[in-house]
Amino acid sequence: MQTLSYQGLKIVNTHQTTISDCLVIEAPLQININNEAYTVVMRTPNNDSELIRGLLFAEDIYKNNSPLKLTIQKEQDKIPQIINVEIPNHLLGKGYLNKRTLLSVSSCGICGKKELKDLEVKGDRIKNINTYSSEKIHEMFIQMTQKQQTFKNSGGSHAACIFNKNYELLTIKEDIGRHNAVDKTVGDLLIKNHLKTANFLLVSGRVSYEIVSKAFIAKIPIIVAVSACSSLAVDFAKEFGICLIGFTRNNKMTIYSNPSYLKKDKNV
C-alpha cells in the first residue's frame, strides 16, 4: 500500500467541488540495529527491506553479501513502524560509529550528519570504458515513466530505476523521498546479487550531492535526471568519474560531467 484516499475541496474559478484524492503515503520507519535505535526515515511503505539494505550499504554499515535478518518489532495498520536488523558485530562497518541523529527526513540525505568530514566519500574513481547512446537514454526514461504507478495515482512520488549496459531495466522503485527511491533500487539489486550489472541510474527529480555519492558507492557510472543538478553534485560527479546528466526531457538533456561516456549522436 503506497497511497491512501483523502477528501478535498477543489476550487476552479468560483466553482467548488468535493473530491476524493489519491495521496502518496509518508510514514516513519525506525531502523534498529541489534535492538538499538539507529535512525528514523520518513518513507513510503513497501520495499522496506530493499530500503534498509540500500541505506546500510550507502552508509558503510553493512556491505557483506549474506542476507540480513529483519524483524518487524512494531506496526500500525499493517505498516511497519520499527524494524530491527541483526548484524554480527564483526560485520558492522565504520559508518555505524557515525550514527545519524534519530530523524532523517525523506528529502534530505545529509540531515543528521554532524561534521563536514562526514560528507566525504572515499574510493577509486570510476573508470568507464564504454560509450552509450543518448537516444537510448530517452527510451529508458519512457520506460520509467510508464512504470511509475504510484505517481500516476497520486502525483506525489519520486522514482528511481537502474538499467544495465544493454539498456535493460533491472529495477524500479517509488517513494516520497528521492534518496529513499535510490536506496530501494540499490538494495533490491544487492538482495538479488545483481548490483555489479548496474550502469545507469535514472531519477525522476533533481540530483543532489548525496545521490551522486550513492551512485559512486554502488559503482554506477551514469546518472540521468529529469530535473536539475546541484553544484556539489556536479563537482562530485567530476571527481568520481560519473557522467551526470540533467534536464532530460522533451528529447533534450544537459551533460554536466564526463560527456565522453555518450556517443555524439543527434541528441547530444
Catalytic choice (108, 111, 161, 229): 108
Q: Is residue 108 flagged as an active site residue?
A: yes
The closest alpha carbon to 43, from 130, 87, 129, 109, belongs to 109
Q: Determine the length of the chain.
A: 268
The span from the first CA to the last CA of the chain, in angstroms, equals 40
Does 249 carry a binding-site annotation? yes
Counting Cβ atoms within 10 Å, is residue 127 exposed (0-12), middle (13-18) or buried (19+)? exposed
Extended beta strands in 146-234, E state = 158-163, 169-175, 200-203, 222-225
Q: Quickly tell me which residue has 530535473 as its cell.
A: 227
The H-or-E segment that residue 155 falls in is none
The closest alpha carbon to 176, from 202, 155, 200, 145, belongs to 155
The H-or-E segment that residue 30 falls in is strand 27-33
CA dihedral 252, 257, 262, 266 (to 10 degrees): 30
Does 145 carry a binding-site annotation? no
The H-or-E segment that residue 71 falls in is strand 69-76
Extended beta strands in 198-242, E state = 200-203, 222-225
Does 252 carry a binding-site annotation? yes
Does 250 carry a binding-site annotation? yes
CB 126 within 8 A of CB 241: yes
Cell for 56? 546500510
Report the binding-site residues.
247-252
Q: Which residues are catalytic?
A: 108
